[in-house]
Structure 1
Amino acid sequence: MKKLINNLLYAGLVVMAFSFTSCQEEFEEVAGGNDQETITANSSTAQLIEKTSSNDGSFDNIVDGASCIALKFPYTVEVNGIQITIDSREDLHTIEDIFDEVDVDEDILDIIFPITITLADFTEIVIENKEQLRELAAQCLEGGDDDDIECIDFVYPITLFTFDINNQQTGEVVVESDEDLRKFFNGLEDDDLVSIQFPLTLKKFDGTEIVVDSNGELANALEMAKDECDEDDDDDFNDDDFDEERFDFCLTQCPWEVREVVRDNQSQTEQYLEYIMTFAEDGTVVVKDREGNILNGTWTSSFTDRGPLLTLEFDVLVDFNLEWLVYEIGDHTIKLYAENGNKIILKQLCEDDPGEVPGPDTLREILKECEWIIKKVKNQGEEIDRLLGFEFKFLPEGVVTLSNGITTSEGTWEIGYNNDQVLSLLITMGDEPGVSFEWPLRDLNNTRLRFEVEEVDYELVLLRVCDDNASDGDVPEIRNIMMGGAWNVAMYKENDMDMTSEFAGMDFNFSTMHQVEVSVNDDPISAGIWRVIRNHDNELKFFLNFGDEAVLGELTDDWYINTVDSNRIELIHEDENSTETLVFERP
């Protein structure tokens, strides 16, 4: 018995077919009447047509891990504790952004059921729970693959004819989309006969079009296209589909700033941070270190099934000499990985020439636009932890304030050139000598300023925060979660050393004005500063500052927010010597 066709178009086609069979004189013979003019619904050519017109579910593999199904918009997911609604394909990038905020995290994504999914044949099914979804996803090929053909597409409309066993035409239909075409073939019995009106146009993955004039040419074109491109059916949502030509263009388009270097599981970031790499089309790469010294090397790229490979060779920068897998390209960032604990993260610098320093008026306006949070203050090599998270406001008439949310110091500021003709920020604040200094500008981008005097090991790093990040949906939400009641330290580890017991019995209450109070049995024992911000690398950070107190001072740092939900937040801090993990949970 024929399958029931839900689409009215195909229901009409079936009715049309029956009307033809009732009147023999209305039959129309196909010219020639040979096997090449028609194909059976179960033929290899028909199967290729079905695979090419199948619904591709690989675009949302970051959610379901299965290319043979796709979730129907809208739906809601919880990503590392943050609930978001997915209304379009563009929203899927938000999930990747959250996953990328901390490279070492264990990403967790939960789908809020029920959901509706679309199968390869465009059938829609309501899924009530995770077990149902897993069962359907398991029907895909191993590794998340499906058996569709994505490297070539039909150009519509297409006219199709149906025939009886005597090769006499019984119907005609025009299809306008992959869904129409796939549903048409679903409505046929295995031995039904079909013919296609030629010539037929196909569009390949690179945009080129080919025209076929027969079933044989069509089958050959579809078969040849099966392996012509990366269908991106795996679950590696970080590969970003760069071909070699696009990768080379991206690499040479602008300079790149070194943000992180790890070799053999040992961080070398402090040594190479903010080095500038400029890749040229002739295969040379020029590196400028923080002192302005020039180091020369070479680069080559190749393309594999895993993605682009970048090979770097230097005489001096031996930590860069490897064949690197380009693991991720996105949001002006390239992440390079190699086996045995090797990683480089580069940030693209297209907006300004890295050697070009703004004038005094430009720097004045930048400072006055928003508030600036202290990420680091270092005097003669010693970091002043008690100032972490304090907020500068550079006001008109040369007035500057520095606040921890409760107390505010006031001083003066001005912009000018120092004796070495380097653009500098002069801060004078009598009751806070830690920031009173002539700070030469060393690095500036939209959201970050770095001042440094390397000879005496003075450094000031400021992060821009406008309107307290009120327009950032994630930041206010996390703040509200933290201010919803008391929290306890559920875990504090430095590398493999568990020091959770040091915080037993302590209640942490996060309140407005960036204040946090610690109490034991409702008796306050300490107070500090806390902040949630999005930093210059678009990462969510959690600032904690208890100064240098014996126990609580160990928590003073700017932490990455790894995961967060209404009852738990996990924070991570990494440097060249250690990895710390701090978990707060509600009692």
Structure 2
Amino acid sequence: MEFIETPEETKLAPNTTITDLLQRTSMNDGSIDNIIDKANCFKMKFPVDVEINNGMAVKVDSQEKYNTIETVFDSFDEDDDVVNIIYPVTIILNDFSEVTVNNTSELNSYSNNCHGENEVDDDIECIDFQYPITAKLFNNNNEFLDTVSITNDAQLYNFISTLDDSDIVTIDFPVVVILSDGSQSSINTISNLEMAISNAIDTCDEDDDYNYNDDDCNDCTVEQLRECLLNCSDWTVNNLDRNTNTEDYYVGYKFNFMANGTMTAINPNWNYSGTWEASGTDNNIIVAINIPSLPDCNNNWILHEIKQDSEYTEFDLNLGNHKLRYESGCSTSAVNDTLLVQTLTDGNWRVNYYFNDNDETLVFNDYTFRFFNNGQISITSSSDTNSGNWNTTTGNDFELELNLNFGYVYMLREITEDWDVVEITSNSISLRDISRADGTEDLLTFEKI
């Protein structure tokens, strides 16, 4: 018999604040696939077959496919973004239990029990644990019974769920926690662990809303925005949602932004003046616009996205359900050729989306592409290394083409083509090719790794 006095600062008692915090931190987060199910308290189990927009079939078998769906949605601004789920599917609930759902009505019966996108849900997402975590079990005489090694969130959640008042459990410290900014902290007592979790709540954006594309400015900077605003002129309102007027009200208006923070809005009959200011970083860049005579434009907007392609430049501003998009036709093939070369030769890339009659993105999952200034392409996979060539030319349907040539390399021949450049951002390049024979459209998107 081994008698051990369990230290209070390592003891885990059921139905206490710390067990509640541990369980909320380890519960299954259902918000990651809100673009499909619009439900925070469960997520779909892979694979899930869906049809989007005009019947385009996508097999969702990894988290990357959420980005694939978003890419398609972003490529077509004028239609409704619709996801039709092909049933039956399996959903994984907050407690990691699995349920088979056979139709939309059954799915809604579960999603109706979730907190809405503007409500605070139960899970804590701004802090994670570094596994394994070791727990020791004792009886009422402090006699050691067993050691449990917990290696993931599901095991921790279920371990906490099974504790009862007669259990005596200690945690082996230190326990390492990972904060939302990527930093780590080593915790040595139950009280400090409780404090660390409590302090982490609400320190990050848990992304529980259904706005799938509210993180498209991960690499945006104030300098990039200023360059767009000052180098382009005669901006127009391309999209407006303020529950008052729509973009039709601003037909004929030309907006211009000046380096000193002033701006003008001119139509054939009137000339308005105002101010603008930008501050912040990444997805938290605030664009303050104030034109006293045009209240629809005025807000401390959040910069949502900057887009540049061979025909135009635009930037989107959001604030809650309010939206404002400015567009300028200032891009030229020379400017965009330089932008494409600079963007493409900066870092490694992967195929984020490839559609050729069907979604064939999965074929390229193992490939990493590196584009060099000399026109060479290095393609690496887990089993092989290949090479190809690239160059830019004037396009047919767009001003700029990206020409890819991978010779006779198997599978890469699929994307050996003269692609029209549809869109360039700091971390993605969207391409398309329309067959001259039958008019079918192929889509290809590279995403920076």
Shorter-chain TM range is 0.5 to 0.7
Partner residue of 1:468 out of 422, 428, 435: 435
> Quick check: 1:234 aligned with 2:209?
yes
* Structure 1 equivalent of residue 374 of structure 2: none
| Paired residue type of 1:123 | S
Partner residue of 2:28 out of 47, 55, 58: 55
Partner residue of 2:315 out of 334, 341, 351: 334
- Return closer, same or farther for 1:270/1:155 CA change in 2, 3 Å cut-off: same
Root-mean-square deviation (CA), in Å? 4.7
- Return closer, same or farther for 1:340/1:169 CA change in 2, 3 Å cut-off: closer
| Paired residue type of 1:238 | N
* Structure 2 equivalent of residue 371 of structure 1: 396
Whether the 8 Å CA contact 2:27–2:123 is kept in 1: the answer is: yes
> Quick check: 1:261 aligned with 2:232?
no
- Return closer, same or farther for 1:123/1:219 CA change in 2, 3 Å cut-off: same
- Return closer, same or farther for 1:203/1:101 CA change in 2, 3 Å cut-off: same
> How do residues 438-587 of structure 1 correspond to structure 2 at under 5 angstroms?
446=421, 466=433, 468=435
Q: Deviations over 1:264-322 (max 9, x none)?
A: 3243466549x7x79x8xx85899x9xxxxx996413469xx9654113579x979952
More divergent stretch after superposition (343-352 vs 129-138): 343-352
What is the CA-CA distance between 1:247 and the residue it aligns to? 4.7
* Structure 1 equivalent of residue 130 of structure 2: 155
Q: Secondary structure at the match of 2:304?
A: strand
Whether the 8 Å CA contact 2:434–2:442 is kept in 1: the answer is: no
* Structure 2 equivalent of residue 118 of structure 1: 92
User: 1-side partners of 2:140 and 2:105: how far apart?
Assistant: 45
Q: Deviations over 1:147-187 (max 9, x none)?
A: 11110111122211112233332211222222332232234
User: Mind listing any 5+ residue stretches in structure 2 that lack a counterpart?
Assistant: 267-272, 309-313, 340-391, 400-419, 424-430
- Return closer, same or farther for 1:211/1:340 CA change in 2, 3 Å cut-off: closer
What is the CA-CA distance between 1:108 and the residue it aligns to? 2.6
Partner residue of 2:301 out of 315, 320, 325: 325
Q: Secondary structure at the match of 2:176?
A: strand
* Structure 2 equivalent of residue 437 of structure 1: none
* Structure 2 equivalent of residue 571 of structure 1: none
TM-score, L = length of structure 1: 0.49
> Quick check: 1:299 aligned with 2:299?
no
Point out the structure with max Rg over C-alpha. Answer: 1
* Structure 1 equivalent of residue 167 of structure 2: 192
* Structure 2 equivalent of residue 456 of structure 1: none
User: 1-side partners of 2:189 and 2:208: how far apart?
Assistant: 30
Whether the 8 Å CA contact 1:160–1:197 is kept in 2: the answer is: yes
User: Mind listing any 5+ residue stretches in structure 1 that lack a counterpart?
Assistant: 1-24, 290-294, 358-364, 375-444, 449-463, 470-512, 515-530, 539-587
Partner residue of 1:77 out of 50, 53, 60: 50
* Structure 2 equivalent of residue 491 of structure 1: none
* Structure 2 equivalent of residue 64 of structure 1: 37
What is the CA-CA distance between 1:142 and the residue it aligns to? 3.4
User: 1-side partners of 2:445 and 2:90: how far apart?
Assistant: 35
Q: Deviations over 1:375-415 (max 9, x none)?
A: xxxxxxxxxxxxxxxxxxxxxxxxxxxxxxxxxxxxxxxxx
Whether the 8 Å CA contact 2:302–2:318 is kept in 1: the answer is: yes
* Structure 1 equivalent of residue 15 of structure 2: 42
User: 2-side partners of 1:250 and 1:446: how far apart?
Assistant: 24
* Structure 2 equivalent of residue 344 of structure 1: 325
| Paired residue type of 1:310 | V
* Structure 2 equivalent of residue 206 of structure 1: 181
What is the CA-CA distance between 1:69 and the residue it aligns to? 0.8
Partner residue of 1:96 out of 60, 64, 70: 70
Whether the 8 Å CA contact 2:222–2:285 is kept in 1: the answer is: no
- Return closer, same or farther for 1:189/1:251 CA change in 2, 3 Å cut-off: farther
User: 2-side partners of 1:341 and 1:104: how far apart?
Assistant: 17
> How do residues 211-230 of structure 1 correspond to structure 2 at under 5 angstroms?
211-230=186-205
Whether the 8 Å CA contact 1:254–1:350 is kept in 2: the answer is: no
Between 1 and 2, higher relative CO (CA 8 Å, sep ≥ 6) is seen in 2
Q: Secondary structure at the match of 1:228?
A: coil
Q: Secondary structure at the match of 2:135?
A: strand
User: 1-side partners of 2:62 and 2:225: how far apart?
Assistant: 32
Whether the 8 Å CA contact 1:41–1:194 is kept in 2: the answer is: no
